[in-house]
A = this chain, B = another copy of it.
Amino acid sequence: MAAISEEYPPEFSDERGLALISDIVDWQINHGSLLKRIDTETQFPDDAPQCYPVGVTVFPTLFPREQFDRACGLQIIYNELYCAMAEDEHWIFETIRDMIPIDPLAAALWGIHEEVKKVGYAQKVSVGIFRSDYMLDAPGMEFPLRPGETFDGSLKQVELNTFSCSGATHANKAADMHRYLARTNAYDTGDDRQINISLDTLPRNNNIPSLSACLAAAHDAYGPKKSSVATDTAVLFVVQPNNFNIADERPLEYALWDRDPPVPAYRVDYPNDFLQYTTLTESRELLFHPPWLGSKCVEISVAYMRAGYEVHEYDTTGKEARLRIELSTAIKCPSLLAHICTFKRVQCALTSPGALEHFISPAKAALVRSTFVSMYPLDGSEAGFRARRLATDPELSRDYILKPSLEGGGHNIFGEDIPDFLASVPESKWGAYILMERIRSPSVSNVLLSSAGLDSGGVVSELGVFGTCLWWKGTEGRHCEMLLNSVGGWSFKTKHEDVNEMSVVKGYGCFDTPLLF
């Protein structure tokens, strides 16, 4: 689509703006596009539990269709790459071995892996719900493009999450909402010179059906129950206690129950309730028998991890809980080694020459590599020394971000703040960070609606593509055998351009839908 107008989003009168916001809030309340206020829930039943709408953009945000399609298309290759990596214990160990002495999470996970290896893993099949996040690198560009101008930036990967990928449900609902608004003429300006927000320009999102289908496929792959004590097999959602983000997790459980035949799905808090309400049989089936199932005892087919990604979750109890999961015959989403592949240090290692070709064909490697930005470990290697020079120079550091080597957003240090920050950290701990080139987003505007109110202005978007896969170790020299490899759907998150962090549920950003052009 050619650019038509230089103004986006359209200017609405106050009256029309309020009507649109009322439509949005009502839609969110009716469709569970909400966060739960945990401070009130913990006082229940004295106080009523409350909830409020998750942040969303009022309008969809402009994004080039070609780059959107490209990101979705790449996911099949990324799935294959990460499954292959997850089956290469030796490569993973070489990549993170320096981190183990200085990074307690790496140490905890690798320790559990070694513990399991003593008796051997009891399940060959693994299931993955991955999310690869991208931003557009197009410094100085502005959307909408001027007449005749074409997009000449590129799609760059921010990170790839292999563990506990959140936002799938919220993203699905945000897409449904923007499509609903477009369909009900809420964006219609009646002005041909304005950019048209229509169903053709707003991609569908099918995260909920596709992620639940992936868990169901893993459940089927597990087969019938082996334990005579169990009445049934079931998927277990291993979750954090006092969860305010139940509206992101629960719909996947509901979708499993809604399948025909239903896939039983239960949830348990990690690690205490998990330890209390599960047992391993002698042949290592994982049995789940909480008091709320009455006399029922189910055998867990799939352990879907939505907890266990933060270092504080690996105290003695946390380690024991994760060890029980890993020892069991349950199919893990994801496997422990696939979990470790989510570390920034692993992402960084993939940028080394030849690293990708170790796992995938040169043609696929070239496609993947084109989404990489420069990344350096802050270690004793040659690349590490170059990185230290960049990171400690107030001028050069501007183009970089310093990130902890672990999974999860946040805790990043930006540009000119890096030298001072590093000065405050003992040099022996620098190895726990990686330095990454900053991605320069094009300039684009929108209106954000969150619990902080309305905020108009320049925004930055991040496109995540969900991948779903099922695999086991390959034979005849192949790293892995893909039993299922699909694009799940996508998430699109947008924040004010001056805010660095992109966590919607923490209130820093909004779920959004790309307006493809």
A interface residues with partner B (beta carbon < 8 Å): 13, 15-16, 19-21, 25-27, 29-32, 34, 36-37, 41, 44-46, 48-53, 180, 183-186, 188-191, 246-247, 250-251, 254, 257, 262, 264, 266, 290-296, 449-454
Contact B26 A291 (CB under 8 A): no
6 residue pairs, one from A and one from B, having the closest CB atoms: A190-B295, A48-B451, A19-B292, A30-B32, A45-B453, A190-B294
Cβ B41 vs Cβ A25 within 8 A: yes
Chain B residue contacts of A188, Cβ below 8 A = 293-296
Q: Are A29 and B30 in contact (CB under 8 A)?
A: no
Give CA–CA (A49, B449) in the complex, Å: 11
B296 contacts A190, CB within 8 Å?
A: yes
Show 23 A/B contacts (Cβ-Cβ < 8 Å), sorted by A. Answer: A13-B291, A16-B294, A25-B36, A25-B49, A27-B254, A29-B34, A29-B36, A29-B49, A30-B32, A30-B247, A31-B32, A32-B32, A45-B449, A48-B452, A49-B52, A49-B53, A51-B51, A184-B264, A185-B264, A188-B293, A188-B295, A190-B295, A191-B295
Give bound CA distance, A219 to B380, whole Å.
Answer: 74
| CB-defined contacts of A30 to chain B, threshold 8 Å | 32, 246-247, 250-251, 254
Question: When chains A and B are docked, how far (Å) is the Cα of A184 from the Cα of B265?
Answer: 8
Given the known interface contacts A30-B32, A45-B454, A51-B52, the answer about A293 and B180 at a Cβ–Cβ threshold of 8 Å is: no
In the complex, chain B residues whose CB is within 8 Å of the CB of A27: 250, 254
Q: B184 contacts A29, CB within 8 Å?
A: no
Min Cβ gap A425→B in Å is: 37
Given contacts A19-B291, A185-B294, A264-B184, whether A29 and B246 have CB atoms under 8 Å apart is yes
Q: Note all chain B residues with C-beta closer than 8 A to A452.
A: 48
Contact (Cβ within 8 A) A183 B296: no
Nearest B residue to A262 via CB reads B183
Q: By CB atoms of chain B within 10 A, which of A52, A294, A453 has the most?
A: A294
C-alpha gap A27/B293 in the complex (Å): 17
Say how many copies of this protein the assembly contains.
2
- CB neighbours (8 Å) of A295 from chain B are 188-191
| Chain B residue nearest to A40 in the complex (CB) | B52
Asked whether A183 and B257 contact (CB < 8 A) given A49-B53, A51-B52, the answer is: yes
A297 and B27 alpha carbons, distance in the complex (Å): 23
Q: Which of A29, A37, A46 has the most CB of B within 10 A?
A: A29
Considering the chains assembled together, what is the distance between the CA atoms of A30 and B173 in angstroms?
A: 11
Min CB gap A75→B, angstroms: 27
How many angstroms from the CA of A51 to the CA of B32 in the assembled complex? 11
Q: Output the least CB separation between A44 and chain B (Å).
A: 7
- A24, B250: Cα distance in complex, Å: 12
Contacts of A191 in B (CB 8 A): 294-295
User: How far in angstroms is the closest Cβ of chain B from A188?
Assistant: 5
**Chain B residues with CB below 8 A from A454, complex form:** 45
User: Are the C-beta atoms of B52 and A291 separated by less than 8 Å?
Assistant: no
Name A51's closest neighbour in chain B (CB-CB).
B29
Q: Which residues of B contact A250 (CB under 8 A)?
A: 26-27, 30
For residue A10, which residue of chain B has the nearest CB?
B294
Q: When the two chains form their complex, are residues A247 and B29 in contact, meaning their CB atoms are under 8 A apart?
A: yes
**CB–CB B45/A186 < 8 A:** no
15 extra interface residue pairs, beta carbon distance < 8 Å, beyond A48-B451, A51-B51, A190-B296: A19-B291, A21-B45, A25-B36, A25-B49, A29-B247, A48-B450, A48-B452, A49-B52, A50-B51, A51-B52, A180-B254, A183-B257, A184-B257, A184-B266, A185-B294
Residue of B whose beta carbon sits closest to that of A34: B29
Docked Cα-Cα span, A36 to B294, in Å, equals: 35
Given contacts A50-B50, A184-B257, A262-B183, whether A290 and B26 have CB atoms under 8 Å apart is: no
CB distance from A271 to the nearest CB of B (A): 17
